[in-house]
Every structure is written in C-alpha cells, then in structure tokens.
A and B are shown apart, each in its own frame.
Chain A
Amino acid sequence: MTETAYNFAYLDEQTKRMIRRAILKGVAIPGYQVPFASREMPMPYGWGTGGVQVTAACLTPADTLKVIDQGADDTTNAVSIRKFFQRTAQVAVTEHTAEASVIQTRHRIPEAPLTEGQILVYQVPIPEPLRFLEPRETETRKMHALEEYGLMHVKLYEDIAHNGEISTAYAYPVKVEGRYVMDPSPIPKFDNPRLESAAIQLFGAGREQRIYAIPPYTQVVSLDFEDYPFEASKADHPCDLCGCGTSYLDEVIVDDDGGRMFVCSDTDFCATRRAEGHRGRLAGEDLAEELA
C-alpha cells in the first residue's frame, strides 16, 4: 500500500467521526472520561496513541501543528509524531506556540499563554486519577458517578502525615468545574494553574480508551487543604540560557563532577527569549549560537 492510500491524517472518516463524538461529549461534560473505541495506531501504545488519535480527529488541512514532549519540539518522540502528521496529513508544522492551531503535548503546558481558537492535545498514560487507589475500572467509574472522592482526600492527607506535604509532584489531581476529579496527565504540578486556559484542552488515552476535555475558561482547582494549600513549585533557579525566573526548568548534568545547569524545558519559549536578547548565566554568545 502506498502512503497516498491512507486517508487524511491516517484514520478513516468513520473513525474520526467516532472520536469527534467522544470529544464533543467530553467538552459537554468537563473532566468526565468518555470511553471511545481507540484504534491500533502505527506507533506503540504508551507513546501517544491517544493524543495522536485526538489530533487526527481535530486536524484540517488548514491547521498548523506543533508537537512537544517534555516541553521540547526536538525530543525524539515529538519529532516522530510531527513527522507522522507531515506524512499522513501534509499539514504545516511549527515550533512556535503562538503560530500553532493544534499543539500535541506530552508532560507540559507551553509557557506562553494559549489563546482562543487553539487546541492543546495531551497524551495521557493513565487517565484515571483514582487508579492507584483502586485498580478496578468497575469501581472507579462508580466512585466518579457518586462523586465519591473521599479516598483521594485521605491519600493526600496521609501524604502530609507521612511527609509533611502532599508528595505528588506531577499528574497532580484537579477538580474540574466543581464536579469531576481529573488527572491532568503527568504534567508537573507547576503547570496546574495554567489548566484554566482560553484554549480548548483535549486529553487522549489510547490504550485505556478514554477521551476527556477542559473547555476554555473552565474552572480547574488543584486538590488541597485550607491549611496545606496547593503550591506550584519549580527548581529555585533562573534559566541559565535565557535568564527567565518564572519558567519550568530542566536540570542538566554538564560535567563529570556533577556540575549542573538549569534550562527552560519549553524550548520555543527559551529560544524566543534569547532571540529577544535575554541572556542567562551560561549563555555567552558562543553557546547561544551553538544552540540556535
């Protein structure tokens, strides 16, 4: 079979329609996990098949796609997914957050605020926030239906009792529009406040066959206690390349003596700042050139 024998964005129209219906249902019931008949994709489960199916169902030929993994456009799996859509949908691609109409992401929300009309598609490994408290789907579906989230609060309380703070650093659970407790995918909790966004946020879990959504301007509250309020944390450094003091940072080991540097995990955000002339501790002109 030649590549042109595949439909636009790989999936056939019937399948895309089925996915779009699941997306619409998800948008209508924010935070609710909609079961959908996930297809077997030409990349492995666990590598973004849910996100890829949601993106495939959303893309039109006029779209501009950005794909990031860990905030970066050039991580291997982001490259692979971007190439897949270039091949099967011939859409324009970009690394600039502001230019993208559809952004597929794994583990991060872009630093630059998203705008109305943009779609952010998350790859989700385990969509069920209660899964590690109760492994059975039959039980967790009941718990959501009855809004029975006591178990989650007990878990957070026990965290504080044992560790002095809530020891969940990523995939930090949220409550959407006062109803469903939702797993925001393994984004660092630093990103949680930006789940309240002007963009549509769609979450696709291929292996687990679930789609859910946060419509624009939906209330998203990170679970906490009055005396232990939620805190979005990050490494206590500025970016060593662009000097930004408010972005989420990757820690990079730079020499055999364990020397470290900290850089923005959002590569587009960092490169844009450097292009505007911002410089961090280690960004001499040589280094900046090399990274460009």
Chain B
Amino acid sequence: MYVAVKGGERAIDAAHEWLAEERRGDRAVAELGLDQIREQMSLAVNRVMAEGSLYDPDLAALAIKQARGDLIEAIFLIRAYRTTLPRIGHSHPVDTGAMRCDRRISATFKDAPGGQVLGPTFDYTHRLLDFKLAADGALPEAPVGAPAEAPMPRITEFLNRDGLIQDELAGDETPPDMTRQPMEYPANRALRLQALTRGDEGFVLGMAYSTQRGYGRNHPFVGELRIGAVEVEMEVPELGFDICIGELVLTECETVNQFAGSKTEPPQFTRGYGLVFGQTERKAISMALVDRALRWQELGEDNLGAPAQDEEFVLAHADNIQASGFLEHIKLPHYVDFQSELELVRRMRAAAGDEMREAAE
C-alpha cells in the first residue's frame, strides 16, 4: 500500500503529545519545579547558560525541564529564544580582578596574596555513590566562615611584574560578535574566545586533551582558576553615568604556558585564557588550553598540523547546535537524492555487466 508520506501532519501532532507525556513521566511522581532544577541541578543550568549564551538561570531551568534533561536540546531552546531578544546596549567589560571569589586556586604558587580558596569543588571527594542521598536528602548546615575581605589580585600579574610572562595589551576596539556577523576566517582572538566559550564542552575538552597528549603540546599550568560573582556595569545614556545592572557568576582560567622564545622575543611564559558563564571549570580550563594552542601564529611557533592549532577546524566544529542539527538532519527524507543515486548505480552496474560479458566472450 502506498502510504509512505500521507498523514504527516497528524503524525507530528501525535508525536508531540506523546513527547509531552514522556517528559512528564509517571504522574504519581511529583512534578519537578523550576526552582528545584535551578537550585539542585545548578551545574546543568550553568552549562546551558554558558553554551546557550544567555545568562538566565530560571530560563535555563525551564529549558532543561522542557528538554527532559537533554542539555544540548536545552541549549538549543535557549539559543532560539535568545534570537528574539532585542539588543539594548553593551555593558562595560567586567572586572574579573574584582570578582567575589567562591573558589580561587593556583597551581603555580603555593600561596599568593588573597590566599587559595578551594570552594565548593568535587576535586577531593571520593567518587563513591552516596546512598544517603537516595534515602533522604537531609543535610546538616555547613559551618560558615567570615567572608574573605582581602583583595585577590590576579596571580599572573605577579609574573608580569617581572616581565616573565607575555603581556596582554589592552585595546579599546569593540570585539566582533559571531551572533551578529557571519563568521570569517582567519578570526581574531576575541572572536575565537567567543566561539570557544559558547562551544560544546565535550568538543572543547577533547581538543584541549589532544594538546596534552602531544597534538600541539603547549605545557600548560593553571596559573589561576577563579569562580565567583562580578558586577555588570553599563552606561545608561539617559543618566550619563555608569550603573550596576546585575551580577554574573563566572569561571575564569588563566594558564601559564612554557615558551622557548624566538628570534625577536626573549624566553618568557605565555598565556591561555578561558572565561565561561557559571561554575564551569572543566570548560574554562579546556578553553584556555585551546586558546593557547590557536595562538601559535601570533607567538611565532611552528604549525605542527595538530587539530587544535587549526583555527578553521576548531571554530567551525565547536558549536553543538550547528553540529547536532546538521548531524540529525540525515533523519529527514532524502529519497529524491537517494533515487538519483540509485539510478546512477543501476546504470553503472549495467554498463559494468556489459563490459564483463564482452570480456568473457
């Protein structure tokens, strides 16, 4: 019976209803509240905000709920929503040096002004399933210390004072924005960093890991990793002065990388940089390593042909919304193109068959 494509519209509606049922799951189980997702799945919320390029924990929680916990799908929902938002203005660059840090560690110095603060980290937990959590979530209050009042200057600045690390020159040009202009290669560093911060965590991690395993090795140390809140300030034209419009939690990672020096530069350390929305340190460290690998040309290094050195390769494939969309589109009907290939193969097989028969005769 020829029914292949009929009823598409009805099928779509039914599929959506079924999907809604599956999302809800067993109705005897209490429904998840957005506040629960925001408070108890906060690292998922952070990832969705970071890769969705939209800082809004409530919307990210909604997206996670709607996406049944599929984070790439949730990121997609946030990205599509983001498209519809008007661009009212630009903030000033945030000052991460003034961050109120929940966590601040350096792997290069045992101690530094401001101290090392471990903060809420999985790092030294033993990864043993905690069955108490399955039974009941009752949790004793954690002791609260006095907030650190001392300023926490960036640790790489100490190296910079001695000229031991390559200087990042401040510039006041407006950075490009890949969500408003088509991507162009070669990209500058600001554009690369934007692409990496919203890139897929797994992809950026894999690229960073490849540099550690020898595909463009750049000897990184975590000079500093800090997580905390920064104020966002912007100048409101009607007021004529700067006001704070809110706070963001950010993760910033600066790596200190070895560098032998070149004909024009004395030996000094170089940097990689990662900055990501929320508590997302795996991503921020990965980003810093990939950033550093992509700077080979600017720092006068050799192109080793490593994937992580290849700007067009890295940037064109880092976005999980582009990647998953294009990957999954092969589920769509392709019978017209398939049909044309089918005919071609049949024709070529017939021709080959004729030739073989002739050869046999």
Contact = CB atoms under 8 A, between A and B. Distances in A.
A261 interface: yes
Contacts, number: 154
A40 B83 contact: yes
B107 interface: no
Contacts of B335: 70, 250-251, 265
Given A37-B181, A45-B321, A108 B12 contact: no
B327 interface: yes
A235 B84 contact: no
A291 B76 CA distance: 37
Contacts of B333: 69-70, 75-77
A74 B8 contact: yes
Interface residues of B, number: 50
Contacts of B184: 35
A76 B11 contact: yes
Contact of B339 (A47, A171, A249): A249
Contacts of A186: 334, 336-337
Interface in A15-57: 35-42, 44-47, 49
B4 A252 contact: yes
B5 interface: yes
A45 B326 contact: yes
Contact of A234 (B1, B86, B334, B343): B343
Given A38-B182, A252-B4, A254-B2, A170 B324 contact: no
A209 interface: yes
B6 A163 contact: no
Interface majority SS (helix, strand, loop, mixed), chain A: loop
A40 B321 contact: yes
Interface in A55-101: 69-72, 74-80, 83
B136 interface: no
Given A76-B11, A107-B337, A164-B348, A40 B185 contact: no
Given A36-B182, A71-B336, A209-B182, A167 B348 contact: yes
B179 interface: yes
Contact of A164 (B185, B327, B351): B351
A138 interface: yes
Interface in B310-345: 312, 316, 321-322, 324-329, 332-337, 339-344
Contacts of B9: 74, 79, 83
A238 interface: no
A165 interface: yes
A188 interface: yes
Contacts of A204: none
B329 A47 contact: yes
B82 interface: yes
B344 A125 contact: no
A155 to B, nearest CB: 16
Contact of A46 (B185, B325, B342): B325
A169 interface: yes
Contacts of A272: none
Interface string B76-99: 100110111010000000000000
23 contacts: A7-B84, A12-B86, A35-B182, A37-B180, A37-B182, A38-B182, A39-B83, A45-B321, A45-B329, A46-B329, A47-B325, A76-B12, A77-B333, A79-B8, A79-B9, A79-B12, A106-B332, A136-B312, A164-B351, A167-B344, A190-B340, A251-B335, A252-B4
* 8 closest residue pairs by CB, A with B: A45-B325, A46-B329, A44-B325, A169-B340, A35-B182, A46-B326, A188-B340, A170-B337
Given A70-B334, A80-B12, 16 more contacts: A38-B182, A40-B80, A42-B80, A42-B83, A69-B332, A74-B5, A79-B9, A125-B326, A136-B185, A136-B312, A138-B312, A165-B347, A188-B337, A233-B340, A234-B343, A291-B6
